[in-house]
Structure 1
């Protein structure tokens, strides 16, 4: 499987969440809601998950092999750093209606 697209949306919040990524494989399979989190040892990637009835979280989708996990994490971190390096987009002021 080849990673064919990675998109990152930065999140500005007081929490450790820094962004949310979407990754596409072979231009035919997409995984949304991959979280980019600031941890004690730097940025890490958390796969999409859901809360179980007992309060634990369980991954919805995740790589089986360490090699693929690293490939995904590296691609997302690179895209995150690129997005972070872009200048902020300023919204144009709107004219009040008469």
Structure 2
């Protein structure tokens, strides 16, 4: 199964939840609401989840093995860093006074 698209849907630098991401696999399946979270020492990826009646959170979808988890997390975090660079570069471009 190949990751064919990653879309950073929302970036929020003011909270521990840094971004919300959608990932498409094989141009056939999309998983929404994957989160990029700021942990104690690094960023990590949290899969979409729901709260149970007991107050616990259970993943709705998640990788079955560590190889897929590592590939997914690496791809998402690379795309997130790229989106941050693009956002920063756009913020640094001075406004054109002639417009």
TM-score band w.r.t. shorter chain: 0.7 to 0.9
TM-score by length of 1: 0.85
Spell out the pairing of 1:1-98 with structure 2 (5 A cutoff).
1-12=1-12, 14-86=14-86, 87-88=89-90
CA distance in 2, matches of 1:57, 1:8: 23
Structure 1 ranges of 4+ moved more than 6 A: none
| 2:97 alignment partner in structure 1 | none
CA distance in 2, matches of 1:18, 1:78: 13
* Number of residue-to-residue matches in the alignment: 91
CA distance in 1, matches of 2:15, 2:83: 19
Mark the runs of 5 or more structure 2 residues left unpaired by the alignment: 94-99
CA distance in 1, matches of 2:42, 2:10: 16
Task: Provide the aligned C-alpha RMSD in A.
Answer: 1.8
CA distance in 2, matches of 1:4, 1:57: 28
Partner-residue secondary structure (3-state), 1:40:
coil
1:11 deviates by 2.6
TM-score by length of 2: 0.84
1:41 deviates by 1.4
CA distance in 2, matches of 1:66, 1:17: 23
CA distance in 2, matches of 1:50, 1:88: 35
Mark the runs of 5 or more structure 1 residues left unpaired by the alignment: 91-98
Contact 1:32 1:48 survives alignment (8 Å)? yes
